[in-house]
Amino acid sequence: MTSYVESFSPGEGRRRPRADFHSDAPRLSLNGDWAFRLAPTASGPSFWAPEFDDSGWDRLRVPSHWVLEGHDRPLYTNTAYPFPIDPPHVPVENPTGDYRRHFDWPYSGRAVLRFQGVDSCAKVWLNGTELGHSKGSRLPFEFDVTGLVRPAGNVLAVRVHRWSSGSYLEDQDMWWLPGIFRDVELLGGTVDDLFVHASYVDGLGTLRVDADPPGIVELPELGVRVPTGETVTVPVEPWSAERPRLYKGVLTAAGERIDLAVGFRTVSIVDGRLLVNGAPVLFRGVNRHEHDPDRGRALDPSTMLRDVLLMKRHNINAVRTSHYPPHPEFLRLCDEYGLWVVDECDIETHGFVYAGWEGNPPDEPAWRDALVDRIERMVERDKNHPSVVVWSLGNESGHGAAFGEIESWIRERDPSRPVHYERDRSYRHSDFASVMYPSLEELEAIGRRREPTPEGVEPDSPDDVRRRGLPFLLCEYAHAMGNGPGSLVDYQRILEAHERFCGAFVWEWIDHGLHAPDGGLLHGGDVDHLPNGGRYCLDGLLFADRTPSPGLLEYAKAIEPVEITIADGRVWLRNRYDFADLSHLRLEWTAGDEAGELPTPYVPARHAASVPAPRGDLLTVRAVLAAGTAWAPAGHVVAWGQAPVVPPARAFRPAGAFRGVRFDDGQLVRLGDLDLSGPVLDVWRAPIENDRGQGFRNDVTRAWRAVGLDRMLHRVEEIRTEDGRVVVRGRSGPAGQAIGLRTEMCWEPAGDAGVALTLRVTPEGVWTDTPIGGHAVTLPRLGLRMGLPAGLTRARWFGRGPGESYVDSQAAARVGLFAADIDAMQSHYPWPQENGNHIETRWLELTGDGVPRLRVEGDPWFDFTARRWTSEDLDRATKPAQLVPSDRVWLNVDYGQQGLGSASCGPPLPERYRLPIRPYTFRVRLYA
């Protein structure tokens, strides 16, 4: 009786897939409160008879995932299946939810029952009659219930299995969240399907709408009134993500009126470049999973809109719907607000990697129908969206003959869109070459079409030659796990330098943390189940509650649509739009206290121009929206540039003797009235996720910890007073090791209650030959740490801000005068780690009520972080709640810190962003 759960069949009794559309036909939402019971296995007792008594059952809202509503628990795995690889079978332990709901349907005519998404397999009964079953969690399925549905007193019963054969095709890196998690609806109407073909060439749009049954198409704005099946060509404005011009209209067929929102656009690949409407495009994209910390993938429309607005406001112009078709409403929003979409099918068989890809479904004929079924359901549902410009066959599913079949199916059904599939290195079934997470050097080679031939492909074979000729789509890069990613600007520069690139998608949009009952956030490792993917689900540009992380701000800057540079008395504007000129932008400038506006020159897409620059200090030019748009108000900053700010070379001459300064045992303990625990050499930072690499790859923390950089001990060797200076010589080294860092701190008087400090660091012993993980040891940080009174609450500084910055993530931070509360300068990563650094700080003041201030001046500049806990506390903590303010403010004034990189899934940090073991000299001045 439960054999359907494990059969290869994608479903039974369902209607054939069709477009998702809104019409004036009767529609009844069956969302809401359902009766629910959960059983431990698939073969629970019968419950579908209308008269069955469910009064003892629980209630459950639909749509939802039962594991987030107090039944059983969510599980997270990255690549591994949470059940044995024994296809198509699943364990007897198969939590199964039974759902019941009563409803009336006071309409006559055809009636269709639609489920927009059920995870992972549902069997459905209406009024005791079995309708069929379906698999394919993130895709709709429908049953024709005409004649079965009654005007009143209907009983719908649904049995949902957590695991099914379909689960083998759904091994995406995300939480396993069973349940009816998208809308359930009953639809009247007679129109079965419609297919809008709307192309654009040189000012003319060509439209043909095919519909079953046929009808009349009206687009009043264009004066179009034509029967379906007939082609018209009229002058139109094209649709693009930059200017999402939609023509609203109706299709009237068999008395039903269907909303049309037609966007005219043509996608093509010409000479190895992706073109839309004849022009090259560059996707500045993100990979978006559907996620909400309370509701999982059961997103409401306001959350979808929030995603779209956040993307638009951060200059993102494209979405890869990793790794399944999203709720159809999201695509409607993409049409309306303007986002290019790579619509990805709900296919991933990643876990077969643990079987050496033996039995991988795309390579097994038995799975063919299930795979083709998913592609059909995606393409049929989403075919009318102008925003969808590429079909993606799926993610991380190895290769196999099925990809050839599904590719042919798409070519036949919708030749208007190119097809993407990354993992088959022959790229035979893809119109794009594609890889994930290349290094900068690899990407550069790809741009030049000089990448090495992939393994398994014969050099200069037809596949090899064809691949080199293809446009390149970077479907994942810049792993946004924890603090990072770094190098976004570096990547963008390469992506814009080569015609082959059509764009890139950061991994990923949002952290998949789930709210825990105690108010904290859960990641996979917090659920007691093996295997689990640990924290790997926390890798988004948004925190789980949709607060932008510093990484999102950096990305917005890296991809801003106008590059503004100021040089030689001119403001240069490089228009990075693919279609728009800059006439929708106003150019505002500030310089010190002065402000003004510049004329916006005419700059066509992908061209540059300049205007004379105003004079003044700290000249900053901002391109802002001249008028409000659907996604942001007038004045919203889309891009900015700043004249290079050269730090003033301030000659410092030590003057006189120390005044108001006390040293104790070689440490500075008092400056004016300020008590401090003197600066000590600090080389440690609480590792960020990217320091830990991926598995054993690129884990620099192993080397750091192996040599003991996390537990340096300090010795003062000599304190000497010479020529009015205090020179403290010492040595810092880890327990059990002969290596060390010799330090010399040379203190000189700098006026009343002021000191100038020169730190010299010289490594000692053999550092570089560490056998640990193949990594030469580098320093996480190099600088000085001091403990200050807890009464200091506020920071003011001149340097980069207002947000945090690192050597490889600094574009979003401009140079200026900033102020912030120390407590507000922390980024609360769900897994605590280094954060809140500020590079290129010229000076810093910490102040608080009733406490003497501290002023730090750079020579010329320094990095700083200020927080109420130490790096060791940060390192130890596994949850933000464990970070409790100590009785001090811990201030780091540093020469520098290692960059962020993206090594949690990606290449190692480029050498130029590391601090090698070598001698360093660093100068600062401290004043009370």
User: Is-cis flag, bond preceding 459, omega within 30?
Assistant: no
CB of 323 to ligand IPT, least distance (A): 6
CA distance 434 to 428: 12
Q: Is 173 in the site for ligand IPT (CB under 6 A)?
A: yes
Least CB distance from residue 174 to ligand IPT, whole Å?
8
Q: Give, as ranges, the residues between 709 and 728 that touch ligand IPT (CB under 6 A).
A: none
CB nearer to ligand IPT: give 535 or 775.
535
Give me the 454-483 binding string for ligand IPT, x by CB under 6 A, dash otherwise: ----------------------x--x----
Amino acid at 134: S
Rounded distance between C-alpha atoms, residue 894 and residue 782, angstroms = 6
170 touching ligand IPT, by CB under 6 A? no
Q: Look at residues 834, 575, 560, 822 and name the one whose alpha carbon lies nearest to residue 687.
A: 834
Smallest distance, Å, CB 880 to ligand IPT?
Answer: 22
Which phi-psi region, left, alpha or beta, contains residue 753 (left: φ > 0; alpha: ψ -120 to 50)? left
* Binding of residue 395 to ligand IPT (CB under 6 A): yes
Give the helix ranges, DSSP H, for 698-813.
700-707
Instruction: Please indicate whether residue 834 is annotated as part of the active site.
Output: no
- On whether the CB atoms of residues 892 and 783 are closer than 8 A, the answer is yes
Active site residue 554: no
Q: Which residue is nearest to ligand IPT (CB)?
A: 173
Candidate list 536, 864, 913, 920; residue touching ligand IPT; CB under 6 A: 536
Q: What is the DSSP string of 171-216?
A: --SEEE--EE-S-EEEE--S--EEEEEEEEETTEEEEEEEEES--E
Number of H helices and E strands in the chain, helices first, is 11, 59
- 245 versus 323: smaller Cβ distance to ligand IPT: 323
Among 47, 507, 658, 869, binds ligand IPT (CB under 6 A): 507
Catalytic, out of 396, 554, 560, 840: 396
Report yes or no: 717 and 744 within 8 Å, Cβ to Cβ: no
Q: Which of 21, 437, 543, 806 binds ligand IPT (CB under 6 A)?
A: 437
Q: Of the two residues 437 and 895, which places its CB atom closer to ligand IPT in the complex?
A: 437
Decide if residue 905 touches ligand IPT (CB under 6 A): yes
Provide the minimum distance between the beta carbon of 322 and ligand IPT in the complex, in angstroms, as a whole number: 6
Of the two residues 181 and 536, which places its CB atom closer to ligand IPT in the complex? 536
CA torsion 419-422-425-431 (nearest 10°) is 20
Nearer to ligand IPT (CB atom), residue 224 or residue 435: 435
Residue whose token pair is 């097809």 = 419
Q: Restricting to residues 303-332, which ones interact with ligand IPT according to CB under 6 A?
A: 323
Q: Show the tokens assigned to 770.
A: 């560490």
H/E run at residue 376: helix 368-382
Beta carbons within 10 angstroms of residue 590's beta carbon = 18
CB of 510 to ligand IPT, least distance (A): 12
- Cα–Cα distance between 107 and 118 in angstroms, integer? 26
Shortest distance, position 497 Cβ to ligand IPT, whole Å: 24
Contact with ligand IPT (CB under 6 A): which of 539, 554, 873, 875?
539
Task: Report the run of H or E that residue 637 belongs to, with start and end.
Answer: strand 637-642
Q: Is 526 a residue that touches ligand IPT (CB under 6 A)?
A: no
* Nearer residue to ligand IPT within complex by CB, 215 or 351: 351
Sheet strands (E) in 202-253: 204-212, 216-219, 224-227, 232-235, 247-253
Size of the chain, expressed as the number of residues it contains: 928
- Let me know: does 98 contact 159? Beta carbons within 8 Å: yes
Minimum distance of ligand IPT from residue 156's CB (angstroms): 34
Q: 350 or 574: whose CB is closer to ligand IPT?
A: 350
Q: Which two tokens stand for residue 552?
A: 């999102």
**For ligand IPT, the closer CB: 121 or 905:** 905
Say how many residues touch ligand IPT, by CB under 6 A. Answer: 14
Instruction: Single out the catalytic residue among 476, 560, 748, 857.
Output: 476
Candidates 436, 440, 591, 618: give the one binding ligand IPT (CB under 6 A): 436
Using an 8 Å Cβ cutoff, are 671 and 660 in contact? yes
- What is the rounded distance in angstroms from the CA atom of residue 538 to the CA atom of residue 558? 22
Q: Quick count: other Cβ atoms within 10 Å of Cβ 713?
A: 11
> In the set 396, 407, 682, 857, which binds ligand IPT (CB under 6 A)?
396
Site string for ligand IPT, 552-581 (x = CB under 6 A): ------------------------------
**Interaction mask 51-90, ligand IPT, x per CB under 6 A:** ---------------------------x------------
Token pair belonging to 337: 């607000």
DSSP 407: H
Closest to ligand IPT by CB, 114 or 423: 423
Q: Are 449 and 468 spatial neighbours (Cβ–Cβ below 8 Å)?
A: yes
Q: Is 804 in the site for ligand IPT (CB under 6 A)?
A: no
Active site residues: 396, 476
What does the binding site for ligand IPT look like in residue numbers (CB under 6 A)? 78, 172-173, 323, 395-396, 436-437, 476, 479, 507, 536, 539, 905
